[in-house]
């Protein structure tokens, strides 16, 4: 009976010991698991070890074998002279000696190593009043160790203690390795960001130069065409048909339009780049902002767009927006909204729908242009705002009249909005789902819902795909603190 009681008591003590060890490892993981600095990790690791075993002193160091210099060191209870001596001896040792230290080693009361420690390159530790040494190796280049002094209780370090210490050291090594990997990723991302910024600046300068270089020859060509047209048309009969010059003038006009739009975008982007180097800059200081009522403004812009797209059979709806006020540059907002509507119309088949949603969420006002058209593939969504990018397969691409279905624009409208967003401090986001029946860029929509073999009703088409472009601004309170109407509101809107 007594044997069973003794056995039960031993099992209970063993269970308590295991629970204590597990709790110690759990607490250690909380202390060092999210640290990103090697010094902080080894400092917390040493404090946990000293606290767990009641050690009188302790130290941890890591040696960078490539540089033969100590990379990190922390200690408790050792004098500055002892630490300086330790650094000198560690850095004067043959780095390969640390590869031999793979087991825990104990010191006797005189500070001498027991067992094979002397042969394993630990002879320099005998003068630091340590009682146990635990190898602390991160990888092939970073090698080190952990030393603890006497327990304040006077008890020796048991095999169970050694097992726990070795596990804690492994846990610390993994935390440091993860921190180094994380730092390497951060450094790589920072370098990539710097490289990208340099490339963007170089691209901006190149486009700016190209825009300037195009302006003069385009003007010269345009003038020469007018002279040539006048001279040839005066001949009897004309040696060239009128259609020939119309084609030249049309394509020259397209080039001039691209040049002007690109020049405007570059100017806005360069102004934004300059502002990034000035703290506290007012993003709208170079533009005339106006507090305007959003719904009447949107209605007016939509009416103008409807006239331009009068040859299309598309329904338009405006939802919400009553009482919403924005403090913006009206011209920029108008250009942005026209660009979004034009994009929506050109991607929506006839008999389709374009919806404008105006709503406020907390202090933010959102203007969403939603189409229920063909949508954009995931591959193209990442390049959509880069400019001079079309979503059709290149072989199928063709420029049509503005607002035609599948007109295949240059992408400058969206790039301009993106640049305005950066320059004037609002947000521009895109969400899209490609039409279920047109999974790739080579799959074409007939351009009219009733002509689609997949959709029996317009509602079926609406559910198949579409895109939402969202502009997010900070809201303006239409009423002042004294209860009067905000005088900044534009009478026009």
CATH number for the domain spanning 394: value is 3.30.565.10
Whether 230 maps to a domain, the answer reads yes
pLDDT along the chain (493 residues), means of 10: 72 76 79 81 89 89 87 88 85 76 77 56 71 86 88 88 88 87 85 77 61 65 73 63 68 68 64 53 58 91 93 92 87 90 92 94 91 86 61 50 77 78 85 89 87 89 91 75 49 39
Full residue range of the structural domain in which residue 53 is found: 2-185
The structural domain count of the chain equals 3
pLDDT in tens, 225-273: 777 777 776 665 665 566 666 767 777 776 776 666 666 666 666 665 5
pLDDT for residue 296: 93
User: Taking a C-beta distance cutoff of 8 angstroms, is the pair 380, 428 a contact?
Assistant: no
Q: Are 51 and 148 within one domain?
A: yes
pLDDT for residue 321: 79
pLDDT for residue 211: 61
pLDDT in tens, 78-88: 888 888 888 88
pLDDT for residue 264: 63
Distance separating alpha carbons of residues 145 and 169, to the nearest angstrom? 9
Q: Are 265 and 328 within one domain?
A: no
Residue ranges with strand state E in 14-88: 58-64, 69-76
CATH of the domain at 29: 3.30.450.40
What separation in angstroms does the CA of 119 have from each of 65, 123, 137, 146, 445?
20, 8, 18, 18, 80
pLDDT for residue 280: 47
Stated pTM of the model: 0.49
pLDDT for residue 285: 47
Q: Are 269 and 364 within one domain?
A: no
Distance separating alpha carbons of residues 198 and 422, to the nearest angstrom? 18
pLDDT for residue 490: 44
pLDDT for residue 187: 85
CA angle 170, 171, 177 (to 5 degrees): 85
Q: Are 210 and 294 within one domain?
A: no
Instruction: Please tell me what DSSP assigns to residue 113.
Output: B
Whether 460 maps to a domain, the answer reads yes
Whether 482 maps to a domain, the answer reads no
pLDDT for residue 380: 77
Q: Please tell me whether residue 264 adopts helix, strand or coil conformation.
A: helix
Q: Are 226 and 177 within one domain?
A: no
Q: Are 11 and 157 within one domain?
A: yes
Neighbours of 57 (CB within 10 A): 20
CATH of the domain at 219: 1.10.287.130
Whether 492 maps to a domain, the answer reads no
Q: Are 308 and 439 within one domain?
A: yes
* For residue 237, cis peptide bond before it (omega within 30 degrees of 0): yes
Q: Are 343 and 247 within one domain?
A: no
Whether 190 maps to a domain, the answer reads no
């Amino acid at each position: 009976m007594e044997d069973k009681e003794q056995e039960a008591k031993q099992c209970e003590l063993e269970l308590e010991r295991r629970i204590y060890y597990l709790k110690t490892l759990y607490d250690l993981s909380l202390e060092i698991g999210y640290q990103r600095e090697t010094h902080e990790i080894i400092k917390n690791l040493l404090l946990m070890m000293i606290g767990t075993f009641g050690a009188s002193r302790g130290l941890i160091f890591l040696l960078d074998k490539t540089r033969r210099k100590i990379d990190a060191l922390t200690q408790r209870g050792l004098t500055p002279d002892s630490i300086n001596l330790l650094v000198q001896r560690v850095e004067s040792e043959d780095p390969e000696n640390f590869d031999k230290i793979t087991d825990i080693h104990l010191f006797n009361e005189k500070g001498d190593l027991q067992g094979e420690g002397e042969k394993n390159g630990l002879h320099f530790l005998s003068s630091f009043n340590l009682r146990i040494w635990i190898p602390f190796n991160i990888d092939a280049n970073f090698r080190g160790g952990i030393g603890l002094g006497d327990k304040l209780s006077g008890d020796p370090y048991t095999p169970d203690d050694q097992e726990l210490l070795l596990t804690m050291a492994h846990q610390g090594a993994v935390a440091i390795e993860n921190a180094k990997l994380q730092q390497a990723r951060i450094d790589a991302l920072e370098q990539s960001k710097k490289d990208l910024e340099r490339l963007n600046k170089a691209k901006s300068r190149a486009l700016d130069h190209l825009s300037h270089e195009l302006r003069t020859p385009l003007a010269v060509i345009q003038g020469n065409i007018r002279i040539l047209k006048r001279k040839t048309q005066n001949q009897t009969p004309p040696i060239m048909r009128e259609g020939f010059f119309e084609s030249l003038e049309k394509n020259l006009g397209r080039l001039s339009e691209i040049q002007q739009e690109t020049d405007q975008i570059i100017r806005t982007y360069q102004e934004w780049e300059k502002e990034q180097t000035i703290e506290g800059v007012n993003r709208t200081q170079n533009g005339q902002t106006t507090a305007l009522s959003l719904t009447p403004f949107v209605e007016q812009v939509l009416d103008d767009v409807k006239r331009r797209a009068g040859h299309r059979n598309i329904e338009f709806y405006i939802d919400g927006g009553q009482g919403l006020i924005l403090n913006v540059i009206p011209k920029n907002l108008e250009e942005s909204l026209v660009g979004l509507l034009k994009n929506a119309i050109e991607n929506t088949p006839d008999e389709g729908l374009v919806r404008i949603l105006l709503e406020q969420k907390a202090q933010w006002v959102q203007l969403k242009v939603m189409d229920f058209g063909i949508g954009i593939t995931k591959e193209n969504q990442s390049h959509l705002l880069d400019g001079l990018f079309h979503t059709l397969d290149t072989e199928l691409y063709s420029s049509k009249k503005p607002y035609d279905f599948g007109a295949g624009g240059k992408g400058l409208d969206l790039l301009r909005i993106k640049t305005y967003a950066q320059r004037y401090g609002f947000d521009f986001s895109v969400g899209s789902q490609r039409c279920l029946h047109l999974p790739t860029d080579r799959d074409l929509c007939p351009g009219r819902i009733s002509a689609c073999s997949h959709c029996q009703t317009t509602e079926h088409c609406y559910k198949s795909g579409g895109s939402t472009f969202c502009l997010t601004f900070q809201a303006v309170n239409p009423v002042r603190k004294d209860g009067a109407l905000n005088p900044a509101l534009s009478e026009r809107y």
